[in-house]
């Protein structure tokens, strides 16, 4: 399993320590960008994205939970972000938006809220590098995994196998060492984990446990 710790749960007063931790043990650094409009919360902005990118020795992905995400693509590329996911629900012209990310030389992901059916992705998976299934309602870390999301992973896997087997499935929200097996068995390739990593007594061990599935 590819593991992407969400820096939303990191200790911002000791950010360098947590960046070192993920560099040493994880596969991808996951940045949650929230605007207080698309989601009912604001996370962090460009200065922190820049700081984390400077310290990163593993790939950085940005999960944009914002309206008009295209405004930030070139900036994030210049800061060193390697992958960007945008929300299906936030983009009226998703094909154009996904292509814009790819044209800038980044990997493009499409994120969906728990209520959005994976059946709507049959066409966009053809040009997407990954689909991010939100398994909590976006906006906050530390929420519980929504059980019906497991069947979405299974259904999405079938759609991907038919239309673009290279497209990866990422699951984000409420992932723990207790449900990782269920999520892996359903067909996930990548998991995002915030509190399960940074609130663990031994974060390095938590990452290894999630990877080991
Ligand atoms: C929620 C974010 C998630 C979240 C993950 O809006 O997209 O990445 O922070 O945190 P945990 O693992 O604590 O659910
Ligand atoms: Zn996220």
- Collapsing DSSP to helix, strand or coil, 164 comes out as coil
Its domain, for residue 51, covers: 2-211
Q: What tokens were used for 96?
A: 């154009």
Phi, psi of 190 (to 5 degrees): -135, 140
Distance 194 CA to ligand 1 centre (A): 6
Contact 174, 137 (CB under 8 A): no
* Local confidence band at 200 (pLDDT 50, 70, 90 cut-offs): very high
Pocket of ligand 1 (CB under 6 A): 6, 8-9, 30, 32, 63, 65, 136, 138-139, 141-143, 172-175, 192-196
Q: What is the pLDDT of residues 168-186, one digit of tens each?
A: 999 999 999 999 999 999 9
The reply to whether 32 belongs to the active site is: yes
Distance 5 CA to ligand 1 centre (A): 9
- Count: domains in the chain: 1
Indicate which atom in ligand 1 lies nearest the CA of residue 138: 6
Sign of CA dihedral 25, 28, 33, 38: negative
The reply to whether 189 belongs to the active site is: no
* Residue 58 pLDDT exceeds 80: yes
Among candidate residues 18, 20, 32, 35, the one labeled active-site is 32
**Given ligand 1 and candidates 33, 84, 172, which is best to mutate, with the most ligand atoms within 8 Å of its CB?**
172
Q: What is the pLDDT of residues 27-45, one digit of tens each?
A: 999 999 999 999 999 999 9
Please, what is the angle between helix 203-211 and helix 15-25, to 10°? 30
CATH at residue 55? 3.20.20.70
d(CA 163, CA 173) in angstroms, rounded, equals 26
Q: What is the pLDDT of residues 148-174, one digit of tens each?
A: 999 999 999 999 999 999 999 999 999
Residues paired with residue 112 on neighbouring β-strands, in sequence order: 133
Q: Whose CA is nearest to atom 3 of ligand 1?
A: 173
Q: Whose CA is nearest to atom 1 of ligand 1?
A: 138
* Residue 213 pLDDT exceeds 90: no
Q: Which residue has the tokens 């020795």?
A: 57
pLDDT of res. 184:
98
Q: What tokens were used for 183?
A: 């999520």
* Residue 60 pLDDT exceeds 80: yes
Contact 52, 60 (CB under 8 A): yes
* Residue 204 pLDDT exceeds 80: yes
Contacts of 181 (CB under 8 A, 6+ apart): 213
């Amino acid at each position: 399993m590819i593991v992407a710790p969400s820096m939303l749960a990191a200790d911002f007063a000791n950010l360098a320590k947590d960046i070192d931790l993920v560099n040493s043990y994880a596969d991808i650094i996951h940045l949650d960008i929230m605007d207080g409009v698309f989601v009912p919360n604001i996370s962090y902005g460009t200065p922190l994205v820049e700081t984390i990118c400077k310290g990163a020795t593993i790939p950085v992905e940005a999960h944009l939970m914002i309206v008009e995400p295209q405004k930030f693509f070139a900036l994030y590329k210049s800061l060193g972000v390697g992958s960007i996911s945008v929300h299906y629900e936030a983009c009226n012209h998703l094909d154009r938006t996904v292509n814009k990310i790819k044209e800038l030389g980044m990997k493009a992901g499409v994120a969906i809220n728990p209520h959005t059916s994976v059946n709507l992705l049959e066409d966009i998976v053809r040009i997407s590098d990954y689909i991010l299934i939100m398994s909590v309602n976006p906006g906050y870390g530390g929420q519980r995994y929504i059980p019906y999301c497991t069947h979405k992973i299974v259904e999405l896997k079938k759609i991907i196998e038919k239309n673009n087997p290279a497209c990866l499935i990422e699951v984000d929200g409420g992932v723990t060492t207790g449900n990782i097996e269920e999520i892996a068995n359903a067909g996930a390739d990548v998991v995002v984990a915030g509190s399960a990593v940074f609130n663990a007594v031994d974060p390095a061990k938590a990452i290894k446990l999630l990877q080991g599935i």
